[in-house]
Chains A and B, each alone.
Chain A
């Protein structure tokens, strides 16, 4: 004799409502959309960024352009060898191309932001300074003077 007087006495477990599941997943989705940024370029060089303890955060990500320096990734080593290379945007370049690269980057920023443009040098920790010195000299020549040596925060 059931208390509620139902016609069938069999106790049924109600189905779990999964309507909130989508809300949870959406929340996750928004979290990732806000905290991450689009990957613009495919890495063609292996870069293991060196560690430093006194790093500062970059204030304006949108005013940043990247110069990647390192050895080509495994699948490209057959074609390009293992010598350290410079990657600008999506392809291997030489120091002579930095001038055009900087000019193009500068063009893409709005007028009042151009002076704050930062060039971020993301170089592998085993790269020799020779190539970086060349890059720095070239940057000086195109008067892109604000630079940043990418480094990971690491305890020392």
Chain B
């Protein structure tokens, strides 16, 4: 007695269906992760509050200006983007205790101990005519300078490990020891005055 066999279902079309679905998702979705430079804007000054200039010692501040022709001035002299990083690093570390470069303050950092922390602030100013590309390039150089200093600090204190490979607590300590003070000044027309 032959048992009646149920014929196998034809599955060749499932692949086509799956392909259609695949194409749909390929069309409607975007790949890739968002990357960028993270910043925190300063809060808007209160209107009632009297605008008082924060007294910052002149030696503690470096002004990086970008004019409408994308030329960069650090301090007062013109500088190329490629040299900006070293300039900033020199400014922040002040290796020779130059009286014109920012002072260092002995600070107690929890979990690390005492450490000299630079009080340098980078002030970034741009013109309305500056191109976005130049602006990002400068921002990038500033971040790079700070990142390299953090790497140096981590290597020295945590057995040759780079900043990215430290644990979260250690990273917090390094961030305190090498702070990133980049202030984006109130917009001014830098180009027009010159």
Residues of chain A having any CB pair with chain B under 8 Å: 18-19, 21-22, 25-26, 28-29, 32-33, 35-39, 50-58, 61, 64, 118, 120, 123-130, 132-133, 136-137, 139-141, 143, 145-153
Which one, A38, A127, A150, contacts B35 given CB within 8 A? A150
Which one, A33, A50, A120, contacts B136 given CB within 8 A? A50
With contacts A32-B26, A56-B36 taken as known, whether A125 is within 8 angstroms of B140 at the C-beta atoms is: no
Which one, B14, B29, B34, B130, contacts A32 given CB within 8 A? B29
A150, B36: Cβ atoms closer than 8 Å: yes
B129, A125: Cβ atoms closer than 8 Å: no
18 extra interchain contacts, Cβ-Cβ under 8 A, other than A54-B143, A150-B36? A25-B19, A32-B25, A38-B29, A53-B144, A54-B140, A54-B147, A57-B35, A58-B35, A118-B38, A140-B41, A141-B44, A143-B44, A145-B43, A146-B40, A148-B34, A148-B36, A151-B35, A151-B36
Which chain A residue shows the least CB distance to B37? A149
A51 to B37, CA, bound (A): 11
A126 to B140, CA, bound (A): 17
Residues of chain B having any CB pair with chain A under 8 Å: 11-12, 14-15, 17-19, 21-22, 25-26, 28-31, 33-44, 66, 126-133, 135-137, 139-140, 143-144, 147, 184, 187
Which chain B residue shows the least CB distance to A140? B44
Interface residues of chain A: helix, strand, loop or mixed (majority): mixed
Chain A residues whose CB sits within 8 angstroms of the CB of B140 once the complex forms = 52-54, 151
Chain A residues whose CB sits within 8 angstroms of the CB of B11 once the complex forms = 18-19, 22
Looking at the assembled complex, report how far the CB atom of A105 sits from the nearest CB atom of chain B, in whole angstroms.
Answer: 16
Chain B residues whose CB sits within 8 angstroms of the CB of A127 once the complex forms = 131-132
Looking at the assembled complex, report how far the CB atom of A104 sits from the nearest CB atom of chain B, in whole angstroms.
Answer: 20
B136, A52: Cβ atoms closer than 8 Å: yes
With contacts A32-B25, A32-B29, A39-B28 taken as known, whether A149 is within 8 angstroms of B147 at the C-beta atoms is: no
B136, A149: Cβ atoms closer than 8 Å: yes
A22, B29: Cβ atoms closer than 8 Å: no
A80 to B41, CA, bound (A): 31
Which one, B22, B39, B44, B126, contacts A25 given CB within 8 A? B22
Looking at the assembled complex, report how far the CB atom of B65 sits from the nearest CB atom of chain A, in whole angstroms.
Answer: 12
Residue among A36, A51, A136 facing the most chain B CB atoms (10 A cut-off): A36
A137, B139: Cβ atoms closer than 8 Å: no
With contacts A129-B130, A130-B128, A133-B126 taken as known, whether A56 is within 8 angstroms of B35 at the C-beta atoms is: yes
B37, A148: Cβ atoms closer than 8 Å: yes
Chain B residues whose CB sits within 8 angstroms of the CB of A125 once the complex forms = 131-133, 136
B29, A37: Cβ atoms closer than 8 Å: yes
B15, A129: Cβ atoms closer than 8 Å: no
